[in-house]
Structure 1
Amino acid sequence: MRVTDVLIGVGCVVLVWCQTATVRAQPAEGVAALKAALEGRQVTMSIDMPASHGGIDVYPQREPDIDAEAYGLRLKEFGTALPRGTRAPITLIKVNTKNIEIHLAGGGYGTRNDPVVVPRVAYIPKSARELDLEKERDRTRDPARKKEIERQLLSLSMDRSRDTMAENRRIELEEAIKKAEIARKRLERGSRINVWYPDKRLEQWVPSPADLMQVLARYVDFSDPRLASLRKGMTTADVYAVLGFPSRRRPGTQGDYATSIDTWETRREVIEVTFVDGLAVDITSTQK
């Protein structure tokens, strides 16, 4: 085999390896883009979010994309950590093989290190005295002695039953206190949205921040909450009172009326308000 053939073969292998490495690197780049765009971002809940790490499961390929029955059961079982209208940060974006986890204000209670209540039932075994008396009862032939032993065994058994009941009451009280503490912690640990994709698509492809935001749009609102206070017909002074002074202002005219397009720009959003004769006639918001 000629040296040139060997070099060509090696070159082909290197090219294939590089192409494969590029394909494998793309999901990592997509994950980095999601984390950069969404982690730390404040969003508004559009629905009540369960106080559990299970949160809600969203299936973009289905219609409807959420199991309403399962959602209702989680709310009933765990309560609401983030009520509708609550503002909360996205604290983590985690891309797994089959789903993307969007952690809200901590991601929800119920992960591996969170304590749980394991039901217990007290059992107090027979004492050495009881065992010895039972052996003596089985050996004795004296009816009077056997009757006395039975009386003692009954007394010891009743004492053990009382002790068992008292211990179970103590355990129940301890568990009730622990359950109440866990219920309180659940309400403080946030929730999450799990977005599921078929097969193992996420090993080869990750949605863009804009695509994922569109999937989540029914459940969280990414827009600036100040927009809810804006209405067409508001005066320039009223709009400025809500948004502050604009980043840019483009004055103009429309017939006999003075116009302007005022722009407010944040790190994640651009808000534009068009004024005609000092009144807002159009309000738009664009995500970056």
Structure 2
Amino acid sequence: MMRSLAFLGFAAVLHGQPPAALEEHFQGRPVKLLVDMPGDDSGVDVYAREAPAGHQDEAGERLTKYGPALRRGQAAEVTLVKRKGDHIEFHLNGGGFTNRQLLGLPGYDSVHWGMSEEERRIRNSMIGTRDKARRRRLESEYDRVRRRRVRPLREQLERDERARHGSRFNIRFGSEQEAGRVTAEELGVILRPYLEMR
């Protein structure tokens, strides 16, 4: 029995810390961001073997597309750390806004947005209209007026939700085995150009 335990301990040294050890070390810790992070679960890719500046264009494109969820100098909290194949996900303030959450936002016809007087007037004009061509024109006008009003409201709601759900780092390694061997201390060194641990 003692020999089996000793072997398991030796194996753990060879293969890095168990998956739970990374989460136990980092989860709940406050950090200060040294970079802007996009409001999406695509996050920021960090390549363990490459210089930090190697993929700035990729991160910049995501910031342009999704807007920032976390800004340089902002405080955040580590909410999850998990190994996933050849990379490690390092979630901050929730890990990022997902496509599923995007689909859950209210659509243009949702009662969430209420109804303007102009929209109500057009809707009332449709009631009892038997002329199909006129009805199509009124429906088209209603859609145009409503989208013009609701679009900026929906875009603002999406920006707010993206900011509320945080972002993540995806630390990418050369192989699943390499990702499995990394220790909490090594992961902290890899992330040092991107955040300050508190």
TM-score (norm 1): 0.51
Q: Which has the higher strand share?
A: 1
* Equivalent residue in structure 1 for 2:98, among 96, 110, 122: 110
Q: 1:42 offset after TM fit, Å?
A: 0.8
Trace 1:246-285 onto structure 2 (pairs within 5 A).
Answer: none
Trace 1:153-168 onto structure 2 (pairs within 5 A).
Answer: 156-168=132-144
Change (3 A) 1:112 1:34: same
* Mapped contact 1:81–1:186 kept (Cα < 8 A): yes
- Distance in 2, Cα, partners of 1:214 & 1:89: 18
Trace 1:59-208 onto structure 2 (pairs within 5 A).
Answer: 59-64=47-52, 66-110=54-98, 112-114=100-102, 115=104, 156-201=132-177, 205-208=180-183
- Distance in 2, Cα, partners of 1:65 & 1:201: 25
Q: 1:92-140 CA deviation, whole Å, 9 max, x = no partner?
A: 00210121111011111125344357799xxxxxxxxxxxxxxxxxxxx
Tell me which amino acid in the other structure corresponds to 1:216. L
**Percent pairwise identity:** 26
Change (3 A) 1:28 1:216: closer
Q: 1:163 offset after TM fit, Å?
A: 2.1
Trace 1:217-256 onto structure 2 (pairs within 5 A).
Answer: 217-222=192-197, 224=198
- What SS does the corresponding residue of 1:112 show, helix, strand or coil? helix
Change (3 A) 1:212 1:43: same
- Distance in 2, Cα, partners of 1:206 & 1:119: 49
Which structure would you say has the larger Rg? 1
Tell me which amino acid in the other structure corresponds to 2:166. G
- The answer on 1:212 being equivalent to 2:187 is yes
* Mapped contact 2:38–2:44 kept (Cα < 8 A): yes
Structure 2 unaligned segments of length 5 or more: list them: 1-6, 110-129
Q: 1:226-285 CA deviation, whole Å, 9 max, x = no partner?
A: xxxxxxxxxxxxxxxxxxxxxxxxxxxxxxxxxxxxxxxxxxxxxxxxxxxxxxxxxxxx
Tell me which amino acid in the other structure corresponds to 2:37. M
Higher RCO (CA < 8 A, seq sep 6+)? 2
Tell me which amino acid in the other structure corresponds to 1:101. E
- What SS does the corresponding residue of 1:218 show, helix, strand or coil? coil
- What SS does the corresponding residue of 1:84 show, helix, strand or coil? coil
Q: 1:87 offset after TM fit, Å?
A: 1.5
- What SS does the corresponding residue of 2:81 show, helix, strand or coil? strand
Change (3 A) 1:197 1:161: same
- Distance in 1, Cα, partners of 2:106 & 2:151: 7
- What SS does the corresponding residue of 2:161 show, helix, strand or coil? helix
Q: 1:195 offset after TM fit, Å?
A: 0.5
Change (3 A) 1:27 1:35: farther
Q: 1:34 offset after TM fit, Å?
A: 0.5
- What SS does the corresponding residue of 1:187 show, helix, strand or coil? helix
Change (3 A) 1:28 1:165: farther
Instruction: Supply the RMSD in Å over aligned alpha carbons.
Output: 3.2
- Distance in 2, Cα, partners of 1:156 & 1:113: 38
- Distance in 2, Cα, partners of 1:219 & 1:162: 53
Q: 1:61 offset after TM fit, Å?
A: 1.9
- Distance in 2, Cα, partners of 1:196 & 1:52: 18
Q: 1:38-81 CA deviation, whole Å, 9 max, x = no partner?
A: 11111111111222211100111234564111111111222222
